[in-house]
Homo-oligomer: A and B are copies of this chain.
Amino acid sequence: MPFRLSTRGHYAVLLMYEVARSGAAFSSLANISTVQKISQGYLEQIIRPLRVAGLVSGRKGFGGGYTLSKQPKEVTVGEIIRAVEGPTVPVKCVGDPSHMDSCPDDCRARRVWQQVGQAIDGVLDSITLQDLLSGEIAVAFVPRKGE
């Protein structure tokens, strides 16, 4: 339950993966909606900030859809998630000036949250759409029960 990613960020990555899969051809949201089983209306909302951020460009009308604005290896998962969700800060008192005075100046925990945010961005920024396409992502160690 802590450090959860909302469906917006989650779906944004799946969405961009589908757009990347189609290469130079236009991918329609109707098609992606079917493949990934996400409502088209919701996808429209999610792709808007991605377009504004210049990660995809859309084309209206019959045969239209979206294509990547950059090469798959130039687009990181971090860019995608931050475009739809904003900066990666686990608690408000880090990064948001309007909340920084809600905790004392000498708060020892603040550096913990900074490190966590940095670690998350480190992982997300190290993975590109090209990595997703080629399946070349290192398998994370997942501890099992009783280990």
Contact = CB atoms under 8 A, between A and B. Distances in A.
Contacts of A138: 111, 115
Nearest to A13: B109
> Assembly of this chain: how many copies?
2
B123 A116 contact: yes
A63 interface: no
A117 B2 CA distance: 10
A120 B120 contact: yes
Interface stretch (A24-32, A39-47, A50-58, A81-89): A81-89
Contacts of A85: 1-2
Contacts of A89: 4
Contacts of A6: 1-2
Contact of A119 (B4, B114, B120): B120
Contacts of A116: 3, 5, 120, 123-124
Interface string A1-25: 1111110011001100100000000
Interface of A: 1-6, 9-10, 13-14, 17, 77, 81-82, 85-91, 108-109, 111-120, 122-124, 127, 132-133, 135, 137-142
